[in-house]
A and B are shown apart, each in its own frame.
Chain A
Amino acid sequence: MTHLAVEGLSKRFGQFVALQSMDLTVSDGQFLGLFGPNGAGKSTLIRLLATLATPTEGAIRLDGDPLDEASETIRGRLGVVTHDTMLYDDLTARENLRLHARLHGVDADRCGSLLDRVGLTHRASERPNAFSHGMRKRLSFARALLHDPDVLLLDEPYAGLDQRAAATLSSVLTEFSDRLVVMATHDFDRGFGHCDRAVVLDRGRVQLDERADEYADHDAFERAYREAVGLEAEP
């Protein structure tokens, strides 16, 4: 049973407080949707959970192990997709995946099946700089899934995706329904559609934390969101 716990987490950049005394627990089988306006702290939280940033205060534990003490083992259990694709433009799509496969100690054969899964087999020998944004994002997904992670951390995964790429991503996420997924997004339709728990962040604090089925539909959730972040209700 995978269990992610955030305890008293704060992150400051100089005087700017990105996250403030956050507490959160998520277990596997749970899809946590992180919502909030720009600058709410969503991306910072994803980077902290991914060990790409260090907290100013507080701790993050995966199955009781602090991230800062067991980070090597924990990183092997995380699949991370952020705004940036983390790809090298001078390597082909296949070479990019093989690089990460070697670093994760994964058999190179898995690269082929993942390229197929994200619909890029026919472009495997091309470099990502010849790809559209959606194709780069799909390749980034393949990179994140190479080592079959227990925990998926996604930051705006649907941003800039066309219908086909979005459908591919949605089907991949459905396959991960038994794992722990944390997804930061502005996309209410897709975000609320996937998640079974919705957390709204604003100014570095949790403003709302509810089960998704508490809301009749995504409009009801959007109203609650607007209220939580202090936005005027739409006429």
Chain B
Amino acid sequence: MSARTYLRAMWTVVRKDLLVEVRSKRVLSTSLVFALLVVVAFAFGFAKSVSDLTVLGRGALWIAFVFAGTISVTQAVTAENRDSAIDGLLLAPVDRTAIYFGKVASNTIFVASVSLLTLVAITVFLNYRPPVTMLAALTGTILVASLGFSAVGVVLALLAAQSNLRASLVPILLVPLVIPVLLAGVELTRLLSTGGDLTAWLRLLVAYTGILLLAGMVVFEAVVAD
């Protein structure tokens, strides 16, 4: 199978997911509402009692990230399982890892988009003002963290969909597995504000995301072919 065919299959899945989302607004609307609720709860619950709003902003950002991410992967997989639509993708004459990477890419776009919109809400409601110079690095951190989150989230959401517990199983399995991603995200956000050596946390984030992608690629076919 040529690289071109592989990438075309991946892009076909991403494009399909984006089109489905533009039509249904199922993933972004629900996950964004939850993310904004977290921000509003933080604004009303802690903003007056906490002196350092940067700490509060960082916390709200990554808590919203987990909520939004979990809802996002669950919703995205629910759409695939309706009328066994995913079987149609699996019947395509392409390496099934292309389908996996396509799903991960589209979920990364969803999770990162919600997180970046949450960041905007945090600047409004919590008066969190990250330095303009760190915005690109913060966006990069969110993107890599979203990739790691989606890499494992897609597989676990597909696995949970086949069990009786379905959606309730996703956070139970997902949150422990993404703790290194969250820790690295929180610490990198802190270091970007306060200054300091990013290397160790950046390495952890990138390496762990790589491991999650590799593991997801290996187990994907076993998860979807029952």
Contact = CB atoms under 8 A, between A and B. Distances in A.
Contacts of A91: 16, 19-20, 23
Interface string A77-107: 0101010111111110001000110111100
Interface residues of B, number: 27
B1 to A, nearest CB: 6
A104 B92 contact: yes
Contacts of B88: 86-87, 99-100, 143
A107 to B, nearest CB: 14
A52 interface: yes
Interface stretch (B76-84, B191-199, B201-209): B76-84
A108 to B, nearest CB: 12
Nearest to A79: B91
Nearest to A96: B88
Interface in A127-181: 143, 147
B93 A104 contact: yes
Interface in B1-27: 1, 5, 8-9, 12, 16, 19-20, 23-24
A89 B94 contact: no
A52 B92 contact: no
Contacts of B85: 86-88
B225 A95 contact: no
Contact of B84 (A51, A74, A86, A143): A86
B187 interface: no
B84 A84 contact: yes
Contacts of B90: 51-52
Contacts of A102: 8, 12
Contacts of A99: 12, 16, 88
A114 to B, nearest CB: 15
A89 B83 contact: yes
Contacts of A87: 83, 85, 88
B89 interface: yes
B16 A75 contact: no
Contacts of B95: 72
Given A99-B16, A103-B9, A104-B93, A90 B87 contact: no
Contact of B83 (A74, A86, A100, A103): A86
A139 B89 CA distance: 16
B192 to A, nearest CB: 38
A76 B90 CA distance: 11
A143 B91 CA distance: 11
Contacts of A143: 88
A76 B20 contact: no
A54 interface: yes
A73 interface: yes
B14 to A, nearest CB: 12
A189 to B, nearest CB: 27
A84 B93 contact: no
A32 interface: no
A54 B225 contact: yes
Name which of B24, B85, B222 has the most chain A CB atoms within 10 A of its CB: B85
B226 interface: yes
Interface of B: 1, 5, 8-9, 12, 16, 19-20, 23-24, 79, 82-85, 87-95, 222, 225-226
Of all A-B residue pairs in the complex, the 3 with the closest CB atoms, nearest first, are A76-B93, A86-B88, A84-B84
Interface of A: 13, 47, 50-54, 72-76, 78, 80, 82, 84-91, 95, 99-100, 102-105, 143, 147
